[in-house]
Amino acid sequence: MALAFYFSPTPVMTAQQYDECIKRLQKAGAGHPRGRVYHACFGTSESVAVFDVWTSQAAFEKFGQTLMPILHQLGVDPGQPRVMEIHNGIIPPAARPRPAARKRAPAKRAAPKKSKARRRTSKKQ
């Protein structure tokens, strides 16, 4: 069952600290960690919070091994997240890809014309 994680760091985490954290996570190869289904950061430039959906506690904890040292380097204490089981999720259907413009088949080249053999006509007498 998927889990929701809500972080509201105290003292606050600024948008600038958040942006720097994301840059460092990407540099560490953890910009799109396996098991994270959804991520949102919201708030003001002075104070942001984070909401994530993960496939499992284990997947989140593995990501935490990369995340926590980065947060500590930035002076951010995320505190304890509120963790809740996901009861329902509504995901819009994927946008249908637009049909590709139909490419016209290249015009078939006519076979080279064979020289017409002279027809011999017989004259009826």
2-24 pLDDT tens trace: 999 999 998 999 999 999 999 99
Q: Cα separations (Å) of 105 from 45, 53, 97, 102?
A: 55, 47, 22, 9
16-65 pLDDT tens trace: 999 999 999 999 999 999 999 999 999 999 999 999 999 999 999 999 99
